[in-house]
Amino acid sequence: MPDTQALVNDFLNKLKKRGSKIEGSQATARQTAELLRSVISQQRVPYTNQAGALIDAVKAIGEQLIAANPVELAVGNIVRRVLHIIREEDLSLTTAAIGGLNLSAVSDDENDDDRDGDSTLSAAAVAAAARSTLRPPSLQTLLEDTPVSAAVPQTSSSGGDSEGKSKSADKSSRSRKLKHDVIEAVNELIQDIVTCHEQIAEQAVEHIHQNEVILTLGSSRTVLEFLFAAKEKKRSFRVFVAEGAPRYQGHLLAKELVARGLQTTLITDSAVFAMISRVNMVIVGAHAVMANGGVIAPVGMNLVALAAQKHAVPFVVLAGSHKLCPLYPHNPEVLLNELRSPSELLDFGEFSDCMDFGSGSGSPLLHVVNPAFDYVPPKLVSLFITDAGGHNPSYMYRLIADYYSADDLVVQRRATAGN
Amino acid sequence: MGAQKKRAAAATAAARVSEDPDDLARQPLQAILLADSFTTKFRPITLERPKVLLPLVNVPMINYTLAWLEAAGVAEVFVFCCAHSKQVIDYLENSEWFSQPNFTVKTIESHNIISAGDALRLIYEQNVIHGDFVLISGDTVSNMLLTQALQEHKERKKKDNNAVMTMIIKKSKPSPITHQSRLGTDELFMAIDPNTKQLLYYEDKADHSKGTICLDKMLLAENPSISLHNDKQDCYIDICSPEVLSLFTDNFDYQHLRRHFVKGLLLDDIMGYKIFTHEIHSSYAARIDNYRSYDIVSKDIIQRWTYPYVPDVKFCGNRATKLERRGMYRASEIEQSRSAQVGSFTVIGCGTKIGSNSKISDSVIGEGCTIGSNVLIEGSYLWDNVIIEDGCELRHVIVCDGVIMKAGAVLKPGVVLSFKVVIGERFVVPAYSKVSLLQQPTVHDSDEELEYADNSSGTVEFSSIQGTADQSNGEMTSESSEAHKPKLGTGGVGYIWSICEGGQEEEWRHSVAPIPEDKLAELSEAMDDDQELVTQDRTALSTSGELISDSNASEGDDNEDSKDDSVYFEKEVEATFLRAVEENVKVDHVILEVNSLRLSYNMTSADCAGAVFYSMMKLAVKTPHSSASELQQNTANIITTWQKLLKSYLLEIDEEVCTIDLDSNYICIFSLLVN
């Protein structure tokens, strides 16, 4: 345990440093998942209610992680995803056990042999069936039968796999199996996070067509990979990059695009409206996607979205599934924004005489506000492209029902309120 | 403690074994944090609690410094505790700083240390520093990145073994009226080599009344170019080589870091040690030196210049605080009446209660405070567990832990209430007074801090400028002296300290309260008078910081009459010169005219040279230019055109002006504040 505690503290410190140590939500998400994996593997589970013990352990650490940097929503998302995985695995194990009992009525030993001998398919099928009975049905499970094993239940089918392979006869090994399954599933989650760029980029050709003009704002690795993928497929198109004041990450993006041989035009943020009529599609990254389909994105994005709407240009948001947040933005400007240092906007020395509080009323006359994020309402977003495919903003809550358990949302909310 | 020291010494010994230049570069960065300012600016508060533990926006100051050191990549910090060392060590032991990975905090304790110099000598004796280190005091707030400054320092050190120190400076314009920086410190003059960034001159106690500074002529002779600055702020963050410690040991009379050490090194040309500067632009750094800087740094923090060290980021185990619209920071569990008005840029600590119809703006309220109804709090700093009863008024004051203000009490601007003071009902505490439970020490023998004899010398002279200042404060003096006995209204507990040291007319400079309007008006008036007396530009260094050569500065000794004469003479010469430039008059004719002026005003030819040179410089500055190099070009042009004019006076006079002239082609003269 002390081992994990040190790890947790280390990560907490990094989170508190606000971006100076970990940059980007993908890295944060990956590290969170890895941390939780080690927490789970170190956690001793009791004989009964192992899932409960694991959930409590993850929750306790998750609370600290979320409190350390409430603005980085990816942390909370991953904590909830892991909690969901534990619940799922627990569920599939119990239903598998019940199913196993039903299948073989001969004896306990034979039952186990039977199950081991059985193809993995039966276990997976049982798990899927159990899921559909014990869980609120998601659109996916209702409409499509085949993707059940493709998208969400990937985790559980893997659980079924390992379940089938493991030679667990007695009940005491079931605890180890649960843990093992959970860790497997978390590994897959990490894998998903790591490969999310490629999975999103794979869809690039379907969206970017020959001789199109794409506009983007700021810099996002997802967007970069997406554009590269289209370029590699021999699509020729042009990119307008809005520089993304005040951090000017667009400059970096432009540099990288040019390095890969893409025709790039750099514009100021304020020129977006003037240029938008020449644009075929706006493709941007996001900081987080909220449950209602609204997007939290680098500052200036709302302006781009409004301009796109005015000129009926499709506004496409690329987001890995770790950015999908099950919370609703009740007051996003205040609750989920981060005000950064004013020094990004202006030089302190040049303006030091404007901030001489020593004279007059003593209250500063110059206020410099530097918000990091914008909120783009769902009605301005045309399409979300996640690693699980393209979705409409109104479909987001369905995806969320697939990725998260309703129980965890409430707990997290209490956890944040408790702070 | 002893064990700790021993361990540290052992570590040093181990490190010494493997000491070769390559290893040195890879050594973990160390820092010395002086948890004592060795001044008495924060009295009476510092009699009861060390300065570094005073809350700055509800977080003890030392946390800002330590958090920055950790983020800047310092691996080991030696906290030097002197005054109230027990409190500092206890605090650090209970904080999370001792349990950080990759960041060790060690304390060094001593009680008989009275200055920073002594502290550094003691640290040298302990042999714990074995490489470059950061020297900082525990009241510094910064968010700068050290890497670049450190890199520069190391590279310089590699090239020149005498480059022992890099000072961090930051641009900050001083007020032209009060001649003090926004942090309430005196105007600072620095001469820096623009190419190498070497510090050549450092003066923080310049004489404002004369409006002149005297530079050693060798400074101009030896350096091809210097730039003079009065708009730089010393951040009191130094990157030092280990030699600095031994220098302190060698010169046992070095006490003050700047006044003795820096100036000592600059003057001493035998050893040839050099100090360099590193200017930071976008990041923040400031030291809390007095009540004014406490106020201003607090406001900077609330305005987020120190990001990420702001109240809503938990950088050091501070309570979770939420940032709401218009810069309102609110912790949890606040009870606030519906009718209470909490204005913008306010921080309210956990568990505070605010009564109905109370108004709070631009203030910081600590934890567990109780504020009654109809209370007015403006620009004030309330620490923890303060009780303010109904109808009190607080404007621009500092109120320490546990203070009780009975109903209807009023604190005038600039008041400081120390720990657990009780102010009686409807008692009005006069402006700038300091109230403490402890009586004012009559002799400066407390073990805590020491004030320097020359500390006040620079400021006393200033009082002569604003003669009327005494008048406005006159009533206050009488009040405070009569209230020297414990009298704080009915039920009041505490002593009002009489303001004797430093002169009370100086109080407004360093207090939390903004400078009153009438004082500003008075000062600017005084300055205008001053300017009319002497030349327009020369006096007000802050408005036009032109380089003043020795020939000009020497006039300062003259009495008023000849000063007037010389002023008129210079004006005439300037007018002549300008006319000559405009109308393209022949040089010989100009010489003739200036000569006649010289005779009529009874001046020497050195004066003529000075005046001509001055007019040339002025012309150069006035010619429209966009950059420093263009200005230099202009200057060179003018000087070459009018070389003959200048030379005709230089034949006879002493060589000091000569040096200036001959070098002047190379000296690039920057106007400090080319508006």
pLDDT surpassing 60 at residue B458: no
B481 is a domain residue: no
Convert the pLDDT of each residue in B191-205 to its tens digit: 888 888 888 888 877
Q: Does A49 score more than 70 pLDDT?
A: yes
Flag whether A314 is in a domain: yes
Residues B351 and B282 in one domain: no
Residues of B in contact with A349 (CB under 8 A): 170-173, 231, 281
Contact check, Cβ <8 Å, A348/B284: yes
- Is A353 within the bounds of a domain? no
Domain endpoint, select from B292, B313, B347: B292
| A379 interfacial to chain B (CB closer than 8 Å) | no
CATH of residue B493: 2.160.10.10
Would you say residue A180 lies in a domain? yes
Does residue B324 fall inside a structural domain? no
Beta pairing, strands B199-203 & B189-192: antiparallel
Residue A288 lies in a domain: yes
A263 Cβ neighbours under 8 A, 6+ residues apart: A236, A237, A238, A239
Q: What predicted TM-score, i.e. pTM, was given to this entire model? A: 0.77
For position A314, what pLDDT does the model report? 96
**pLDDT value for A163:** 43
pLDDT of residue A179 exceeding 50, the answer is yes
A10 with B101: Cβ contact below 8 A: yes
Q: In this predicted model, what pLDDT tens digit does every residue of B4-16 receive, in sequence order?
A: 444 444 444 444 4
Residue A148 is predicted with a pLDDT of: 39
Of B71, B283, B514, the CB nearest to A359: B514
- Asked whether the CA dihedral B104, B105, B106, B108 is positive or negative, the reply is positive
Same domain for B269 and B372?
Answer: no
CATH number at residue B224: 3.90.550.10
> Which of B282, B290, B522 to probe by mutation at the A interface, max A CB count within 10 Å?
B282
**Do B355 and B414 fall within a single domain?**
yes
**Residue A365 pLDDT > 50, yes or no?**
yes
- Assess whether A170 and A227 both reside in one domain: no
A256 plus A178 within the same structural domain: no
**What percent of chain A stands above pLDDT 90?**
35
- Does the pLDDT at position B541 exceed 90? no
The answer, for A340 touching chain B at a CB cutoff of 8 Å, is yes
Report the residue from B182, B299, B325 with minimal CB separation from A334: B325
In chain A, residues with a C-beta closer than 8 Å to the C-beta of B315 are 16-17
For B270-276, what is the mean pLDDT? 84
Q: Where are the alpha helices (DSSP H) in A208-362?
A: 221-232, 249-259, 272-275, 301-310, 332-335
| Same-domain check for residues B404 and B266 | no
Phi, psi of B211 (to 5 degrees): 75, 20
Give domain status of residue B382, yes or no: yes
- Regarding whether A208 and A164 lie in a shared domain, the answer is no
CA distance A415 to chain B (A): 13
* Nearest chain A residue (CA) to B285: A348
Stated as kind and residue range, the H or E segment containing B199 is: strand B199-203
Question: Who's near B650: CB < 8 A, 6+ residues apart?
Answer: B609, B657, B658, B661
Pick the range with the lowest mean pLDDT from A163-177, B66-80, B154-168: A163-177
Q: For residue B401, what are the domain limits?
A: 335-440+486-498
Cβ atoms of residues B487 and B427 within 8 Å? no
Does A153 share its domain with A133? yes
User: Is A339 close to B303, i.e. CB distance below 8 A?
Assistant: no
The last residue of a domain, from among A161, A195, A229: A195
Same-domain status, A23 and A172: yes
DSSP assignment of A157-171 equals HHHHHHHHHS---ST
Arithmetic mean of pLDDT, A109-137: 48
Q: Find the CATH number of the domain harbouring B663.
A: 1.25.40.180
Q: Is residue A347 part of a domain?
A: no
Claim to verify: residue A286 and residue A210 sit in the same structural domain: yes
Residues A163, A232, single domain; the answer is: no
CA A267 to chain B, closest CA, distance in angstroms equals 24
Classify residue B357: in a domain, yes or no: yes
Residue A260 structural domain: 202-337+372-418
Q: Which residue in chain B has the smallest CA separation from A342?
A: B305
- Say yes or no: A229 and A269 in one domain: yes
- A23 to chain B, any CB pair closer than 8 A? The answer is no
B257 and B380 together in one domain: no
Judgement on whether residues A150 and A219 belong to the same structural domain of the protein: no
Residue A314: CATH number of its domain: 3.40.50.10470
Q: How many of the other CB atoms lie within 10 Å of CB of B281?
A: 12
Interface check for A195 against chain B (CB to CB < 8 A): the answer is: no
Residue with more model confidence, B4 or B394: B394
Does residue B255 belong to any structural domain of this protein? yes
Residue B465 has pLDDT above 50, yes or no: no
Q: Are residues A217 and A76 in the same domain?
A: no
Amino acid at B525: E
**Mean pLDDT to the nearest integer, A149-170:** 42
Chain B partners of A356 at a C-beta cutoff of 8 Å?
Answer: 175, 182
Structural domain total, chain A = 2
Q: For the segment B96-113, what is each residue's pLDDT rounded down to a tens digit? A: 888 777 788 988 888 888
Specify which of A308-317, B175-184, B421-430 reaches the highest per-range mean pLDDT.
A308-317
Quote the number of domains for chain B: 3
Q: Is residue B319 part of a domain?
A: no
| B303 → closest Cβ in A17, A342, A419 | A342
B356 and B246 belong to one structural domain: no
A195, A230, A264 — which closes off a domain? A195
Helix (H) or strand (E) holding A125: helix A120-134
| Residue B347 CB partners (closer than 8 Å, separation 6+) | B57, B58, B302, B311, B321, B329, B330, B363, B364, B365
Question: Shortest Cα distance from B136 to chain A (angstroms)?
Answer: 21
Tell me: do B274 and B373 sit in the same domain: no
Is A390's Cβ below 8 Å from some Cβ in B? Answer: no
Beta bridge partners of B322: B330
Q: Are residues B58 and B200 in the same domain?
A: yes
Q: Is residue B161 part of a domain?
A: yes
Residue ending a domain, among B237, B263, B292, is: B292
Nearest-CB residue to A343 (from B172, B282, B292): B282
Instruction: Name the residue among A263, A221, A216 with its Cα closest to residue A238.
Output: A263
pLDDT digits (tens, 9 = 90+) for B284-317: 999 998 898 999 899 999 988 998 888 888 777 6
DSSP for B129-163, written as a single string: --S-EEEEETTEEE---HHHHHHHHHHHHHH-TTE
| Final residue in a domain of this structure, among A135, A164, A195 | A195
Q: Identify the domain boundary among B257, B292, B327.
A: B292
In chain A, how long is the greatest CA-to-CA distance? 91
Percent of chain B exceeding pLDDT 70 equals: 77
A311 and A376 share one domain: yes
Q: Say yes or no to pLDDT of A2 above 60.
A: no
Find chain A residues with C-beta within 8 A of B320's C-beta: 67, 419
Least confident segment among B72-76, B192-196, B632-636? B632-636
In terms of domains, do A32 and A171 share one?
yes
